[in-house]
Structure 1
Amino acid sequence: MTLRRQLIAVLLTLITGCSQPGIEPAQPPGPTARPADFPAAFYADAAARGQSVLQIDSSHSLVSITVRRAGALARLGHDHVIASHELQGYVAPRLGRADLYVALDRLSVDEPALRAKAALDTQPSAADIEATRTNMLNKLLQTSVHPFALIQAHASPEADGDVLLALELTLHGVTRSLSVPARIRRTPSEFHISGSLSIDQSSFGITPLSILGGAIQVRDRLELNFEVRAAPPLKQESRS
């Protein structure tokens, strides 16, 4: 192998940021708990008062995040798609409020269908993908300390069609307030909301990977898309 090829191989390993010594592989996800501060009691009380309370249908909901490479040597790396199919939470449509959470250790990396949908132009190996996931969970998100992302959204109770959500996103122990364009669609028994936003990792105290003086780096800005379905009314829920 020539010196040039050896250098490229090393750079490709570094850009994953995940094959470095001292990083343990991510453990298989266990049963998902609920965040201790998740406001389940609010929705149980609302349901007891006769309010319509809907539960997130995780099987028909998706959050996906596109993470892009940057720098003068960006061509040596890969873009990635991070996704959650296990969004949890509740919506109270007549109160104009929703509270959601994602267990971060359940995130997937680079599902083929999602990479194709995002039109990404490279194909990381299985080892690259696993290394990326390990690094993301252990070094960046630090899921042993910050296991969940939490979202609280507010809109007018009459909101339908194109709306602007007032959203509070808590990630990595940091909460930021955002205004997010979205689209709401209601049916007699379901509530659908979709939209997209961009966030900077650094706004949440996360330092994106950067090596060789920034020649190879992960872009700070993340592109997030969401499709959420909620149904049917909550019947019974613990107040704890």
Structure 2
Amino acid sequence: MRHSGLPLLLTCLLLAACTPLAVAPPVPATPAPIAVPLVPPARSENVLTIDTQATLLTITVRRGGALARLGHDHVVASRTVTGWVAPALRQADFQFRLDAMSVDESALRTNAGLETTPSAEAIAGTRHNMLVRVLDAERYPDVRIQAALQASGNAVDAAITLHGVTRQVVVPVKLVQALDGSSLRASGAFVLKQSDFGIVPFAILGGAMAVQDPMELAFDIVANHKASAPGSASAPAQ
């Protein structure tokens, strides 16, 4: 009888490993949810529209602690990014909905080099916990990024709003722009800390099983005059 609780303990540990984060206690004067829709500059500024179907943003969170082998790393993806880019102003403003994000698409896990294979039940549990227990997606449904290109042309100053908290970060970026200015592609990768947005990384057993604080973000954003139009010849952005 002394071993009868072991399977239950292991099951709890496995489920806990797929719970990505825990929410920090609320703080006073929490900013209001993001206002939509996004309003672009005047048309005379040659504003490009985000091509939602061609744009992908991924977030990878990794397991940690001495018992990390019992859990899974996860890849969350957004294919619903909307907004605009104004090359002449060197500015962009876009957002995506949390409840439209996918969790652990097989191809994206492979691309990220993740070795384990979570079950469908584990993936569903992770998505539920992420939206309900962690991000409070009903109250804060959107993530918004407002960016301004630096003079060097290889980084942007970005204001990222997540979970009601806005942080200023410098994001490296590679830009490719069509010769006629009709389209632009921005890609890159960077790391954010969950704790910077008021989120406490999940941990149990004194940290023996935990989710690491860093989130690895990668983006490939396409914008053009007509989002459904085929891409045109490209050249490095100026």
Range into which the TM-score falls when normalised by the shorter chain = 0.7 to 0.9
- Aligned-pair identity in percent equals 43
Confirm or deny that 1:127 pairs with 2:121: yes
Matched, 1:7 2:2: no
1:85 equivalent in structure 2: 79
Structure 1 contact 95–157 (Cα < 8 Å) conserved: no
Deviation at 1:2, TM superposition (A): 6.5
Is 1:98 the counterpart of 2:92 in the alignment? yes
* Residue matched to 1:62: 56
Match of 1:191 in 2: 184
Where does residue 177 of structure 1 map in the other structure?
168
2:42 equivalent to 1:46 = yes
SS in 2 for 1:220: strand
Query: Could you tell me which amino acid in structure 1 is paired with residue 99 of structure 2?
Result: D
Tell me the amino acid that sits aligned with residue 139 of structure 1: R
Distance 1:89 1:17 in 2: 31
SS of the residue 2:167 aligns to: strand
CA-CA distance at 1:171 after TM superposition: 0.3
1:10-49 counterparts in 2 under 5 A?
10-17=12-19, 35-40=34-39, 43=40, 45-47=41-43
Q: Once the 2 structures are TM-superposed, how far is the Cα of residue 9 of structure 1 from its aligned partner? A: 2.1
Are 2:34 and 2:140, in contact at CA under 8 Å, matched by a contact in 1? no
Correspondence 1:107-118 to 2 at 5 A: 107-118=101-112
**Cα offset for 1:16?**
2.0
Q: Which runs of 5+ in 1 are unaligned?
A: 19-33, 235-240
1:118 counterpart letter in structure 2: A
Larger mean Cα displacement after TM superposition, 3-12 or 142-151: 3-12
More strand by share: 2
| Structure showing the higher helix proportion among its residues | 1
| Residue type at the aligned position of 1:186 | Q
Letter in 2 for 1:72: A
For 2:117 and 2:99, locate their aligned partners in 1 and report how far apart those are by CA, in whole Å: 23
Q: 1:60 to 1:157 in 2, by over 3 A?
A: farther
Task: Give distance in 2, aligned partners of 1:106 and 1:191.
Answer: 24
Unaligned runs of 5+ in 2: 21-32, 228-238
Distance 1:138 1:6 in 2: 24
Verify the 8 A CA contact 2:38 2:83 in the aligned structure 1: no
SS of residue in 2 equivalent to 1:143: coil
Give the partner amino acid of 1:36. A
* CA displacement, residues 178-201 of structure 1 (integer Å, 9 cap, x when unaligned): 011110000022100001110000
Q: Distance in 2 between matches of 1:122 and 1:133?
A: 17
Relative distance call for 1:51 and 1:158 in structure 2 (3 A) is: farther
TM-score, with structure 1 as normaliser = 0.83
1:207 aligns with 2:203: no
**Aligned length in residues:** 211
Q: How far apart, CA to CA, are the structure 1 residues paired with 2:152 and 2:210? A: 44
Question: TM-score when scaled to structure 2?
Answer: 0.83
* Stretch of structure 1 that moved more, 224-233 or 121-130: 224-233
In the alignment, the residues of structure 1 paired with residue 141 and residue 16 of structure 2 have an alpha-carbon distance, to the nearest angstrom, of 25
Amino acid at match of 2:119: S
Does structure 1 residue 224 correspond to structure 2 residue 223?
A: no
Structure 1 residue 8 displacement after superposition: 2.0
Amino acid at match of 1:178: V
Q: CA RMSD in A?
A: 2.1
1:232 offset after TM fit, Å?
Answer: 1.0
